[in-house]
Structure 1
Amino acid sequence: MSTPTPRRAPAGAAVLREDVTEAIRAAVFEELAAVGFARMSIEGIARRAGVGKTAVYRRWKSKLALVLDLVGAVAAQGLPAPATGSLEGDVRALLTVASHALRHPIASQVIPELLVEAARQPEIAEPVRTALLDGLDGKEGVVAQIVREAVARGELPEGTDPARALDLLVGPLYWRLVVARTELPKGYVDELTRAAVAGLRTLSP
């Protein structure tokens, strides 16, 4: 009985090499740091990554799609759900990680420009929002988990709205680090934690 000949991949089927994908992602960070989102180009990214433009377009259809994917990946990896056993501990852990995440070049350089693009192009507003809030917002987001567990422990009233909690928790950090671009004073995260926990307890269900 003869040994079957291994089947070959169909002609033209592209195999996306992970090392090339990672080289492109690294090039995006370098290009963003050098020229910003508005002046960034697929050509520049490809040149930095040492690949052709086709390699980039096989993975992402535009620079906006590329950056949205990158923002979503950073957001998802950067904000793990805390599990300290108390509302104050969870809030402090979230704010500590969020304060570091908002100092990331993706946040400081790209988020404001993405919001401008979303205002100019309403059709991309939802993808931008999804990328920016990935892992934070929604029923399975970090903030909803913090609220659910605090309610279960009796630290927050039943029916506390996670969306309003998200505004209360992350809004001040976003304002200081992304909009005003000022450093956080010493002890700011602890002060914000205490204020946010007090505020959460007064939210009307």
Structure 2
Amino acid sequence: MAPDTAPPRRAPAGAAVLRDDVTEAIRAAVFAELAAVGYGRMSIEGIARRAGVGKAAVYRRWRSKLPLVLDVVSAVAAVGMPAPATGSLLGDIRMLLEVTARALRHPVASQIIPDLLAEASRHPEIAETLQTALRDTQRGIATAIVEAAVERGELPAGTDCDLALDLMAGPLYWRLAVLRSPLTPRYLDRLAVATAAALAASVQ
């Protein structure tokens, strides 16, 4: 008698398959909904409608809107951006200011970030995710800029990387997210010079 053999397993079909294009459409819809109505008013129904899918497609991937938003924000943070490598401290700071300002000026980001920061006070999970998405990612870039400047002799050893991040990112967030004032290339030039000088003097 031939030995018993298990029948080959069939790949799931139809609704069991989580299509990548649907997942990406849902993620894009989350950003659009956050910008349009904010986290508090955002709903799975609204996300599904904007993505052009049924609610079941969303619930097969995320159990509620909180893990959905956390997943989307974490995915964006994981992409990150490379640290500038212009060959000088001033050049690196100026490039980082330009890239960060461009990101904060984006219509979606300018609506989403303040809203999620407000929600972070009520949802520890959002606060933790934003800590990773905003501060930890940017801190890695600031650290790379400082370490390169120390190696070139532009900054003294022991320069505080957290202070560097505050000096680079703080004024941009204040101007764009709080005051909502326009940023000119001349302002970014002056801010880069002031930031570089402040870092050079910070451990003296």
Structure 2 match to 1:79 = 81
AA aligned to 1:157 is P
The verdict on how the C-alpha distance between 1:133 and 1:65 changes in structure 2, with shifts beyond 3 A counting, is: farther
Map of 2:52 onto structure 1: 50
Q: CA deviation at 1:11?
A: 9.0
Aligned to 1:153: 152
Counterparts of 2:12 and 2:185, CA distance in 1: 60
Distance 1:124 1:26, change over 3 A: closer
CA drift at 1:56: 1.6
Q: Return the structure number with greater helix share.
A: 2
> Larger radius of gyration, structure 1 or 2?
2
Paired position in structure 1 for 2:187? 188
1:15/1:159 CA distance change after superposition, 3 Å: farther
* Equivalence for 2:175: 176
**Matched residue type, 2:147:** R
TM-score by length of 2: 0.85
Q: 1:11-39: per-residue Cα shift (whole Å, max 9, x none)?
A: 99943211001111222233233323321
Deviation at 1:78, TM superposition (A): 5.9
1:120–1:204 Cα change, 3 Å: same
Letter matched to residue 181 of structure 1: R
Cα shift readout 1:145-188 (whole Å, capped 9, x = no counterpart)? 11111111111111112111100110000001011111114511
Q: Provide the residue aligned with 1:23 in structure 2.
A: 25
Inter-CA distance 75–43: structure 2 relative to 1 (3 Å threshold): same
- Cα RMSD (Å): 2.6
SS, match of residue 187 in structure 1: helix
TM-score by length of 1: 0.85
Query: 8 Å contact 2:90–2:193 — kept in the other structure?
Result: yes
SS in 2 for 1:143: helix
Percent sequence identity over aligned pairs: 68
Letter in 2 for 1:17: R
Report the equivalent of 1:97. Answer: 99
Match of residue 166 from structure 1: 165
Q: Give the distance between the partners of 1:89 and 1:121, measured in 2 at CA.
A: 38
Following the alignment from structure 2 to structure 1, what is the Cα–Cα distance between the partners of residues 27 and 96?
Answer: 26
With over 3 angstroms needed to count, the CA separation of the structure-2 counterparts of 1:162 and 1:28, relative to structure 1, is same
Single out whichever of 99-108 and 17-26 deviates more from structure 2.
99-108
How many pairs align?
Answer: 199
Q: Which amino acid aligns with 2:51?
A: A
**8 A contact 1:76–1:134 mirrored in 2:** no
Measured after TM superposition, the shift of residue 66 of structure 1 is 2.6
Q: Does structure 1 conserve the Cα–Cα contact (< 8 Å) formed by 2:31 and 2:112?
A: no
Structure 2 residue aligned with 1:130: 132
Shift in Å at residue 81 of structure 1?
A: 1.2
